Amino acid sequence: MTDRGEQGADERGERGEDERGERLATALRARLGGIGYGGDYNPEQWPEDVWADDVRLMTEAGVNLVSLGIFAWARVQPDPETFDWGWLDRVMDLLADGGVAVCLATMTASPPPWLARLHPETLPVRPDGTVLWPGARQHFTPSSQVYRDHATRLVERLATRYAGHPALAAWHVGNEYGCHVSGSYGDVDAVAFRDWLRRRYRTIDALNEAWSTTFWSQRYAAWDEINPPRQTPTFPNPAQRIDFRRFSSDALLECFLAEKEVLRRVTPDVPITTNFVPLRDTLDLHAWARHEDVVSYDSYPDPADPGAHVDAAFGFDLMRSLKDGAPWLLLEQAPAAVNWRRVNRPKAPGQMRLWSWLAVGHGADAVMFFQWRASRGGAEKYHSAMVPHAGTGTRTFREVRELGRELAAVPEIAGTRVRAPVALVLDWPSWWGLEQDGHPSGLLRQREANLAHYAPLFGAGVACDVVRPSADLSGYRLVVVPNLYMITESDAANLTGFVRAGGRLVVSFFSGVVDDRDRVHPGGAPGPLADVLGLRVAEFWPLAKGEHVDVEEAEPGWFDGGAARGSLWSEEVRLDEASPLATFASGVLAGRPAATRNRFGGGAAYYLATRPDPAAMNSVLRRVCREAGAAPDLPNLPEGAEAAVRHAEDGTRFVIVLNHDDDGPVTVPLPPGGVDPRDGTDVVAPYRLGARGVLVVRYPPSPTGSRHGGPA
């Protein structure tokens, strides 16, 4: 078959998988009868007489879904030849009788101690050679075939045993892949890394070229000389490190796929998911998500951080975007406090409900917790649970029960979608490249860049997807690139084509610097984005921590008061076609461009050569949104209030209004025609929403499809 033929087959295969995923996700929704609600259920930690009580309380709390047995491998398989399913059979039956569906874990996230005793080579190794021993969890290297064989053997037995069980609704593969160990540097890994590199580069010369190994005499003569980027005297080869991140993400994905293959074969009609960790640089989620039938996510915003909900919302928007807007499952959040920060503050009254609805507003079709019943022993005994140590007469259980009832009253929201006029670009390999050593500044962080650009959009109420640089951008009015340090020619062509076709593009500094092998693009930044941005960067002038540079408008209307302060970065920009919107007003770059616009094709591309202060970022992004025609779903909301909209296929809209303010009520100017979906009563505007309040309003399809009678 030609390459083209193979590519066609791949694409057809991918489409087939997408269609199957969509069908299975729809079936799961139908089975749950609305939004999924529940949590991690670990009955193996409790005597059997507690189980019946668990199921009774689950019914009371409105639980319709639990993630079962995530850490039960050692209990199910106490030695390599013994399987003990009896207890799990009884739990599954109890849950089925209680009407609680099960997202059954494949149990492979924490191998039993006998695996390490018999096969110490399955243990992961740090860059300095330290072995990570059993005694916690996730103590396996993904490259170990022995681990994979034991895992798939267990999964085969598990799937065969519970195929057709009335409680089985979905598969929960592993748990938070890469959470504690995102890469392993041992001998087993070295062999697998070399195989991966051979597949990628075919010849050692191609690898030497890709890794720029003529530098510092690193040229390899044979594959066996190559190792994972272990502890080195000074900066390790950056291209090697990026490839190792790619390899490590792929190695974990191979573990997931090996289990998936078994599950698909034995239970073809059961949807498969794995819960992603709160947004991190570990896995390339764009590569992972297409292999899941439904995307799921764990979210742990810090109740002590007043901006935590914005960060959480960013993760939610990413989850929704990973499968082109398909609803996703919030599989874990804390009912109150976690136990892994230095000081663990519980969620304030109403905060758990508020942040649960935040997830639904941003596309979640399930609201679940870690965990159902608080553990008595073990490392997580101080982590909150739906049923706390103090029992059901607690604020936490009351809030859990009330939220269960509330979600059950609006089943029609499940399956509806968010529509976003703006996309923000995020790419994992670029993230890995950005944060390496030996750069002009060690202060640049992808997450901070994302949030600096996302927060103004969130504050303005403009819905935003989070997409890969190669995504189809044609449906968006505005695309924001907080940082794309690494960019390929084809991704640059995608962004350029978007602007040519009439879109607006915002790009911030230190973007378009290197290619996918971490080699600087000829001519330097912004590399293949130079045309669309209409400029070149001559020299970087990064700013020290706490250092600022003054910025003033060159064209009026960009900053409130006409001026701003830049931090983190500045640079000497040479304009080609672009015109300055603002200039530096202090320091060595005084008088030179700090923000620019380039009218290009039918659209325009904007560039920020520094990080304007938050107020200035707000005014810049609001202005660009206006120029792009990217409107908020509900205009004129008071500070602290948010309105997220989910659209049903028939044109019905659910507006989820949230008051993120801890202190006081807000008055929300809702459009007429909305009803409270819980009882069908009219919602009268303006509506007064208390601190941490939530209001859900349903708007019928407008007869003309116009914006009258409800939000856009």
Residues engaged in binding ligand GLA (CB under 6 A): 175-176, 298, 300, 332, 338, 370, 380, 383
Which of the residues 259, 332, 406, 553 is marked catalytic?
A: 332
Comparison of 103 and 668: residue with beta carbon closer to ligand GLA: 103
Tokens of 243: 């490839």
* Residue showing tokens 């079709």: 365
Comparison of 372 and 397: residue with beta carbon closer to ligand GLA: 372
- Least distance in Å: CB of 275 to ligand GLA? 6
Tokens of 611: 């990080």
Comparison of 138 and 267: residue with beta carbon closer to ligand GLA: 138
- Least distance in Å: CB of 144 to ligand GLA? 21
Query: CA 633 from chain center: how many Å?
Result: 23
- Least distance in Å: CB of 297 to ligand GLA? 10
Task: Spell out where 58-166 has E strands.
Answer: 65-68, 101-105
Angle, in degrees to the nearest 10, between helices 48-61 and 395-408: 50
Distances in whole angstroms, Cα of residue 264 to Cα of each of 85, 257, 403: 21, 10, 34
- Least distance in Å: CB of 491 to ligand GLA? 32
- Least distance in Å: CB of 659 to ligand GLA? 26
Query: Sheet holding 593-600: strands in order across?
Result: 464-467, 422-425, 478-481, 504-508, 603-608, 593-600, 579-584, 548-553, 563-567, 611-612
φ, ψ of residue 158 in degrees (nearest 5): -60, -50
Distances in whole angstroms, Cα of residue 29 to Cα of each of 158, 202, 251, 416, 466: 24, 45, 31, 11, 24
Residue 542 to residue 188: CA distance in whole angstroms = 41
Comparison of 299 and 610: residue with beta carbon closer to ligand GLA: 299
Residue 615 to residue 618: CA distance in whole angstroms = 5
Which of the residues 176, 259, 406, 571 is marked catalytic?
A: 176
Residue 392 to residue 366: CA distance in whole angstroms = 23
- Least distance in Å: CB of 368 to ligand GLA? 11
Residue 584 to residue 592: CA distance in whole angstroms = 6
b/e string for 96-108 if b means 16 or more Cβ within 10 A?
Answer: bebebbbbbbbbb
- Least distance in Å: CB of 208 to ligand GLA? 40
What is residue 659's three-state secondary structure?
A: strand
Comparison of 60 and 380: residue with beta carbon closer to ligand GLA: 380
Query: 552 CB contacts (<8 Å, ≥6 apart)?
Result: 562, 563, 564, 582, 583, 585
- Least distance in Å: CB of 294 to ligand GLA? 17
Comparison of 44 and 380: residue with beta carbon closer to ligand GLA: 380
Could you write out the three-class secondary structure of 343-387?
A: CCCCCCCCHHHHHHHHHHHCCEEEEEECCCECCCCCCCCCCCCCE
Comparison of 36 and 456: residue with beta carbon closer to ligand GLA: 36
- The closest of 279, 265, 332, 288 to 310, measured between CA atoms, is 279
Q: Measure the CA angle with vertex 450, ends 447 and 454; round to 5°.
A: 135
- Least distance in Å: CB of 298 to ligand GLA? 4
Residue 576 to residue 35: CA distance in whole angstroms = 53
Comparison of 177 and 454: residue with beta carbon closer to ligand GLA: 177
What is residue 478's three-state secondary structure?
A: strand
- Least distance in Å: CB of 300 to ligand GLA? 6
Distances in whole angstroms, Cα of residue 43 to Cα of each of 74, 378, 389: 14, 14, 15
- The closest of 677, 614, 214 to 448, measured between CA atoms, is 614
3-state helix, strand, coil in the chain (%, to 5): 35, 20, 45
- Least distance in Å: CB of 272 to ligand GLA? 17
Please confirm, yes or no, whether 176 is among the known catalytic residues. Answer: yes
Please confirm, yes or no, whether 332 is among the known catalytic residues. Answer: yes
Comparison of 34 and 39: residue with beta carbon closer to ligand GLA: 39
Comparison of 330 and 462: residue with beta carbon closer to ligand GLA: 330
What is residue 567's three-state secondary structure?
A: strand
What is residue 26's three-state secondary structure?
A: helix
Residue 131 to residue 129: CA distance in whole angstroms = 6
Comparison of 302 and 435: residue with beta carbon closer to ligand GLA: 302
Residue numbers annotated as active site: 176, 332
